[in-house]
Amino acid sequence: MKKEGHPEYTECEITCACGHKLVTHGVMPSMHLDICSACHPFFTGKHKLVDTAGRIEKFNRKYKNASPTSQTQAG
């Protein structure tokens, strides 16, 4: 078996956007998460809107002037 066939398995520090850090093992030296169990609404019990990319604002700008379309029934 080749000695260089597998990546090196070292400690990996995972950092969340909320500041929570976790140390585990992996092939990457570090990882960055947008949301983790320390700040996710399901685990914390708090309702919080997570919009890191401005998706809601982009949607509102795109459809701000859109008029409701008439629905036709096939029949």
Model confidence at 68: pLDDT above 80 = no
CA distance 31 to 12: 7
Query: CA-based angle 27:33:36, to the nearest 5?
Result: 110
Name the phi and psi angles at 2, rounded to 5.
-70, 140
Question: Would you state the pLDDT for residue 52?
Answer: 62
Angle at 67 between CA 57 and CA 54, to 5 degrees: 5
Dihedral sign for Cα atoms in the order 32, 55, 50, 41: negative
Element (H, E) at 1: none
pLDDT value, residue 5: 83
Q: Which domains does the chain have, with CATH numbers?
A: 7-48 (4.10.80.400)
